[in-house]
Structure formats: structure tokens, C-alpha cells
């Protein structure tokens, strides 16, 4: 049963991250998830200073608010300082991460502040944190309910706003011309990314979240030119990675999150080599006969 809960959690996180990652890939902002994972550190410290508690809930709330602030700052620097998106991402997360380190050293240096519980969670511990009702009924791991709720929200967000998200990702100029608010949908998308990233921290860890935000969408991008197909393929690739990664970890007796991230890397390499349209091996085989005919 433990395997079921771990794989289910990994699959739910993969679904959320893969769907949102497709939009980040198209916007050339694939590393926003990595930025958020570092920039939320001040939020963790501030939440501890305000509540005096090291419980996960206040830390996650603090991290979530800082995650949203991070996305706002990235867009602010990009738009008004006129720097490239990657530079805005780099400046923002390094600055906020450094502030978090200073806050810990000054105000919480003598306290065992467990920022690792939020930044570097362990998916193997998911089955241990059960939701027990007052009547003593076990409802399963809390994380599954949390990530499940986030997955439903992300699916509804994409279904309801598909047209606007599609237009603002592919052609923001045209979207603005027909009256679609590009800023509004950018901030909604970044808020969804922040929510997903922070909600996934404690259960699967920042490294796996970043891997699932980038690798499955990038792999799907190599396999198709149809965006709807890209969304579906990225989810399938993420879920396959969750299954295969778990059993790979069991086989080698290693880190589950590390194994899942490794599988996503193998998926990308296979698509890079053998994609029918963009694979370097397949495309070369198709181009050579044409060149010989010419």
C-alpha cells in the first residue's frame, strides 16, 4: 500500500507540474520553479518568527506568499528594468535567498529551523503522515489530499482559461490587440506555478518539482507540434516517470525522488535522439536520402 501512495503522490505532482511546465517552456521561463524553490526561504523564516512554530502549515503559508511575491518581482524587473527574463529570475531568487540566509543567521541562528522539510521533502515519508479523523478513521496521507486538491484546481484553471493562456503564451501582441489582459494571465499562471511548487515541496522536494516542471514538457515539445497533444504527452511522461522511478529506486535501493528525476532525464534523451520530427538520429536519416536525390 505504501508503494501505491508514493506513486499516486508522484503522479499527481507530475500532472500539475507537467501541465504548467508546458506554458513555462513556451514563455522561456522554465526555471521559475527553481527560482521559487530558493526564494521562499525568507517566507519560512518570517512565518517562524511570527508564529514561533516550526509546524509545516505556517511555513508553507509563508513560503507560498513569498512564491507569489517572487513571480511579481520577476515580471517587475523584466518589464520596468528591461532585463531579460532569465536575468530577472536570477536576480530575484538569489536576492531573496540571500535575505533568507541573513534572517536565519540573525534571528534564528540558535533554533533548529527545519527549512529542509519544505525545500527538500522526502516522498518516501508520504505514507507516514496520515489524516486521522476525530472518529479514528484513516483517510490516507494528508499529502495526497493536498496535492489532489491542487491538481483539481490546476486542471480547472487550464480548462477555463485555455484560450487566454494559449494566446498569451504564443502571441501576446495579438492577445493584447483583441482585449486579453496579458499581465493578468501572466500573474494567474505564475500564481498557479507558485501554488503547485510550494504545495509539492514538503512531499517530493524542490529538485523533483523542478525536474517535473521542465523535463516532461521539454520532452513532449520534441515529440509534437500540437499544443493540446503536448499537454497530454507531458502528463503521460510525468506519470510514467513516477511509476518507473519508484521501481528503479526500489531496485537500486536509492532515492525515490532522485530516481524519478533521472527517468525524466532518460525520457528527454530518448526523445532528443529518436523523435520522428526533431530527433537528431531520425532527422539525419530522413535528410540524407533527400540530399542524395538532390
3-state secondary structure 98-123: HHHHHHHHHHCCCCCCCCHHHHCCCH
For residue 129, being part of any structural domain is answered with no
Q: Which domain holds residue 148?
A: 2-121+138-293
**Span 43-100, pLDDT tens digits:** 777 877 787 766 666 777 777 788 788 888 887 887 777 777 778 888 888 888 888 7
**Span 19-49, pLDDT tens digits:** 999 998 888 877 777 777 777 778 777 877 7
| Residue, of 242 and 66, whose pLDDT is higher | 242
**What is the pTM (predicted TM-score) of this model?**
0.82
CATH number at residue 17: 1.10.3470.10
Within 178-279, residue ranges assigned H as helices are 182-204, 206-223, 227-252, 256-274
pLDDT value of position 283? 58
For residue 131, being part of any structural domain is answered with no
For residue 232, being part of any structural domain is answered with yes
pLDDT value of position 56? 63
**CA angle at 143 for the pair 141 and 147, rounded to the nearest 5°:** 130
pLDDT value of position 116? 52
Q: Quick one: CA dihedral 103, 107, 108, 110, positive or negative? A: positive
Q: Which residues are bridge partners to 138 per DSSP?
A: 132
Structural domains counted in the chain: 1
For residue 252, being part of any structural domain is answered with yes
For residue 133, being part of any structural domain is answered with no
Give per-residue burial for 121-146: e unless 16+ CB within 10 Å, then b.
bbbeebbeeeeeeeeeeeebbbbbeb
Q: Minimal CA–CA distance to 117: which of 17, 48, 184?
A: 48
Amino acid at each position: 500500500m505504501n508503494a501505491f501512495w508514493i506513486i499516486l503522490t508522484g503522479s499527481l505532482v507530475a500532472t500539475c507540474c507537467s501541465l504548467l511546465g508546458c506554458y513555462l517552456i513556451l514563455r522561456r521561463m522554465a526555471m521559475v520553479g527553481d527560482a521559487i524553490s530558493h526564494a521562499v526561504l525568507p517566507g519560512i523564516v518570517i512565518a517562524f518568527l511570527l508564529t514561533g512554530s516550526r509546524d509545516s502549515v505556517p511555513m508553507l503559508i509563508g513560503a507560498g506568499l513569498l512564491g507569489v511575491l517572487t513571480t511579481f518581482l520577476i515580471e517587475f524587473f523584466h518589464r520596468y528594468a528591461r532585463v531579460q527574463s532569465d536575468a530577472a529570475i536570477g536576480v530575484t531568487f538569489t536576492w531573496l535567498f540571500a535575505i533568507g540566509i541573513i534572517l536565519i543567521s540573525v534571528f534564528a541562528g540558535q533554533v533548529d529551523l527545519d527549512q529542509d522539510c519544505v525545500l527538500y521533502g522526502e516522498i518516501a515519508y508520504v505514507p507516514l503522515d496520515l489524516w486521522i479523523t476525530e472518529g479514528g478513521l484513516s483517510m490516507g496521507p494528508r499529502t495526497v489530499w493536498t496535492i489532489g486538491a491542487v491538481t483539481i484546481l490546476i486542471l480547472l484553471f487550464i480548462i477555463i482559461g485555455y484560450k487566454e493562456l494559449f494566446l498569451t503564451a504564443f502571441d501576446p501582441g495579438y492577445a493584447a490587440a483583441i482585449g486579453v489582459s496579458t499581465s493578468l494571465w501572466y500573474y494567474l499562471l505564475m500564481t498557479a506555478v507558485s501554488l503547485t511548487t510550494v504545495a509539492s515541496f514538503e512531499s517530493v522536494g524542490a529538485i523533483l518539482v523542478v525536474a517535473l516542471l521542465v523535463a516532461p514538457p521539454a520532452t513532449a515539445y520534441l515529440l509534437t507540434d500540437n499544443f493540446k497533444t503536448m499537454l497530454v504527452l507531458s502528463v503521460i511522461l510525468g506519470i510514467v516517470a513516477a511509476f518507473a522511478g519508484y521501481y528503479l529506486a526500489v531496485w537500486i535501493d536509492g532515492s525515490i525522488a532522485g530516481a524519478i528525476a533521472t527517468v525524466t532525464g532518460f525520457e528527454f534523451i530518448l526523445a532528443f535522439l529518436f523523435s520522428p520530427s526533431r530527433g537528431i538520429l531520425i532527422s539525419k536519416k530522413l535528410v540524407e536520402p533527400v540530399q542524395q536525390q538532390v
